[in-house]
Structure 1
Amino acid sequence: MSAGLAVETDGLGKRFRGRDAVTDLALAVPAGSVFGFLGPNGSGKTTTIRMLLGLVSPTSGSARLLDAPMPDRAAAVLPRVGALVEGPGFAGYLSGAANLARLDSADPLADPRTRRRRIGEALDRVGLSAAAGKRVKAYSLGMKQRLGIANALLRPRDLLVLDEPTNGLDPQGTREVRTLVRGLADDGATVFVSSHLLAEIEQMCTHAAVMRAGRLVAQGTLDELRGPSADDRLHLSTPDPEAAIAALAGAGLEPSRAGAEVVAPLRGRAVEDLVPVLVAAGVRVRGVRMAETSLEERFVALTGEGFDVES
């Protein structure tokens, strides 16, 4: 395993009934990061998570979690991993606290002497202390989602794997989960967040990977994924538009008039390198700015599909 990675896959793939759900996946999740796993619904995100956790056997390739091969070392690795996959499942007739106690008692490594304290701390951390004694069948979807995260936090974890953690949450609940995820990373955990909500990935994550039709199409820091891009544009305000167009065309760009501005696709060129070209050509520069390709535009270009951008 490469140094500093909490999750790494090499050629990971899964085939169902003759159909490739995930193909040749090479993920590299830095330790301590909040890593967004982004893609449209049906792009292979949940299948990948199930393979990482040993819930589904891969058809090809390999995966390592916390420097150990999966699923071969699952018994040693999974106690260090908290997970919420495909929504939480709880006994509706039991309270939130009773559900957590039931699940914790099934964990052979959990200390029963500290169970009550740990359950209280987990419920408090996800904002469910007031509903601890309430039956889960009366919980909203967002409350159930937060209870699932609380279950993942019953013991200290080195890696948290959260599949659509803000699903069903109202704006306040979404903000609380976002703050919680950042806090977990600040405490030293790696948080792997699967989502189809671009806004959540942008506000929560330090790194991201983009899936399309079962294949990885990009990964890196958010800044690396944003650019620079050939679609970034120079916007120039000048009293000499014709001279500016001639100078930019001479520099290999394709400028045009756009209202009171001259606009040109940068094609990877730096704005600071073009201003001296304009000045040397006698163009009077009143103002210059760069319009960057948004993360949403970049992901749509990568996947060929739109993303939900509202939470």
Structure 2
Amino acid sequence: MQGEKIRILSEALANQIAAGEVVERPASVVKELVENSLDAGAGRILVEVEKGGVAKIRVTDDGEGMIRDDAVLCLERHATSKIRDESDLFEIETLGFRGEAIPSIASVSRMEIRTRTEGEACGTLVRVAGGAMRGIEDVGCPKGTSITVADLFWNTPARRKFLKSVNTELGHITETVDRIALAHPSVHFELSHNGRRLRRYPAASEPRTRIAQVLGKEIHRDLFEIREETKTLRLHAFASSPARSAASSKQIHTFLNGRYLRDKVLIHAVAAAYQEVLPK
């Protein structure tokens, strides 16, 4: 009789495998952390990265913060403040809800969480390495949360080997921040790389202003607004004149409930509509 072949994976290994679904590259980390900041009600989000995000990623916000117990609990898989039972799945208003991002990122990096809520005299500092707790202590910090992710994929060298150049990874991060900023114009965003600021988008009172910040003032001056509403959906769009048509569909930015999406059917519909009015 052959020996047993089926075994239960260790929690650390299970988290590293799960991280493969959440953490593809540094830009994935930025996306997950920034979305957490938005869900926490942040009005100001700062993103700092070093060496394309492989050496360090820090996302700091002025959101509601976490008490000590929650700062520790958020490192457990499927720990979330965003849903309580299955009925909530049909009314999700947050960008994240599965409770997998933080533990997945922590399992393949060295992570520090600094956080404080409005009513606390001091904040909490949590240190994690490869998913293992390294320390919890009181710390002075402003209200909100700052999460630092260092040495991404340090314990999974095969994953790190597949990353691209610093400039390529930075390009993905910049694109991620731009997309999220377009979807959330009322939030202030900043992005810096190796101490040099690359992006600064002050909070805007209307989407047009944010479009000008991200895509340029020339496009902003040439936009017309579209609003439609049915019983099941609301559409709010800005379109440029056919004279500013671009060869690439990358200039078509689509969002659903504040989340960027790339839907081929929708993009084709927009492109087809423009084909009718473009000069031959």
Instruction: Find the structure with the greater CA-based Rg.
Output: 1
Q: What TM-score results when the alignment is normalised by the length of structure 1?
A: 0.23
Q: Which has the higher contact order (CA 8 A, sep 6+)?
A: 1
